[in-house]
Amino acid sequence: MNSNTPLRDELEIHIRKLIKPLKEEAELLTILKVKLTKKEFKILNNWAKSEDLEPLLQKLSIDEERYVSLREKLIKKLNQEKLKQELMI
């Protein structure tokens, strides 16, 4: 794990089959901001920074149940071929 690529490290955890390496952190941020909803992006960012869940839930005004469904949707989205192609070099 590289300390200055938390987002890339996080994506590598959640994407099942990575054929090529992921792009640079700044490029990934740009792509994900466009492709993900604000809440999905904040959840992914929260994982990347290893922050506590409670403050995030309050900030997004969602409960645990909604978080779980957003998390599942996010992981499915990250594993879509089209998005994976964009994220890889």
What SS3 state is found at 19? coil
**What per-residue confidence (pLDDT) applies to 46?**
97
Q: Is residue 1 part of a domain?
A: no
Q: Is residue 70 part of a domain?
A: yes
Which pair of structure tokens corresponds to residue 30? 């740009």
The whole model's pTM is what? 0.91
**What per-residue confidence (pLDDT) applies to 2?**
61
CA 78, CA 72: separation in Å to the nearest integer? 10
Positions of the chain with pLDDT lower than 50, given as ranges: none
List the one residue out of 17, 82, 9, 88 whose CA is nearest residue 45: 9
Structural domains of the chain, count: 1
Residue showing tokens 């904040």: 42
Task: Count CB-CB contacts under 10 A for residue 33.
Answer: 10
Q: Is residue 66 part of a domain?
A: yes
Domain with 61 in it: 6-87
Which pair of structure tokens corresponds to residue 28? 């990934």
